[in-house]
Amino acid sequence: MPSEMQHQVMGYDRAATMFSPDGHLLQVEYAEKVVNFGSASIGIKCKDGIIIVADKRIRDKLIDIESAYKIFEIDEHIIATSAGILADARVLIDHAQVLAQQNKVTYGSPVEPIIIMRMIADRKQYFTQFGGARPYGVSIMIAGVNKGKPYLYASDVYGNLFTYKANAIGENDEKIKEILRKDYKEGLSIDEGIRFCLKIFKEVLGKNFDLDRFDVGFIKIGEEKLKRMQGDELKKFVK
């Protein structure tokens, strides 16, 4: 009998707080699988700012494309994207937006991106260590500009967080990361970064590549304000 099936029979997956004999939190690992089914996003630090290119992967023609954002504004200088259960992401983003405004009111200055990321990661970790609630089935990637520098963070289902130069979450994330490790070069401009991300998606998606699938958000150093691009606006970045 496979190890995972044996653990299910023995009941080690009945609660997020129960370790299996070989040190796994099975409910959390199941939540990780949900993330891998979510549509992919790529984030890249650039010399003049930060970008996120997200695949909206809208299959229902009845849905208004304009309403299907995959990039969320936490504050003018911080954006986020997610992979996994979108409703879980929305709740975490709501908390992040409140924290950003509280910081602005209390201290009179924009919140640092790492503070937002730590709050989200802490909240996700908290839901892996008590019974009666399931883990958040979502990975979050945060991108922001603070004091003239771009920052990119991501946290997984467990609540781990890391700082990145370039990163991908969601479907085919390992394949995308391999391309990033091979071809990513520091010092890209925002335009070059968008072109690079779309090139990766074109390689990964093949015949399913369509510009209408993508939501692009970027923040320039010095402006520190979210700008979005979709659909026809992206044609100039694809050969």
Query: Please, where are the H alpha helices in the chain?
Result: 3-10, 26-37, 86-107, 113-126, 173-183, 190-205
Residue-level pLDDT at 9: 43
Average pLDDT for residues 197-204, to the nearest whole number? 95
What tens digit of pLDDT does each residue of 163-176 get? 999 999 999 999 99
How much is the mean pLDDT over the chain? 89
Gap between the Cα atoms of 124 and 92, Å rounded: 9
Tens of pLDDT, residues 34-79: 999 889 999 999 999 999 999 988 766 777 766 667 899 999 999 9
Summarised one tens digit per residue, pLDDT across range 128-147 is 887 778 889 999 999 999 99
Query: What is residue 11's predicted lDDT score, i.e. its pLDDT?
Result: 67
Residue with tokens 């923040």: 219
**Percentage of residues of the chain with pLDDT beyond 70:** 92
Helical (H) or strand (E) element with 197: helix 190-205
Q: Domain segments of the chain: what residues? A: 23-237
DSSP class of residue 67 equals G
Is the pLDDT at 230 greater than 50, yes or no?
yes
Per-residue pLDDT at 130: 76
pLDDT level of residue 1 (50, 70, 90 thresholds): very low
CATH of domain 23-237: 3.60.20.10
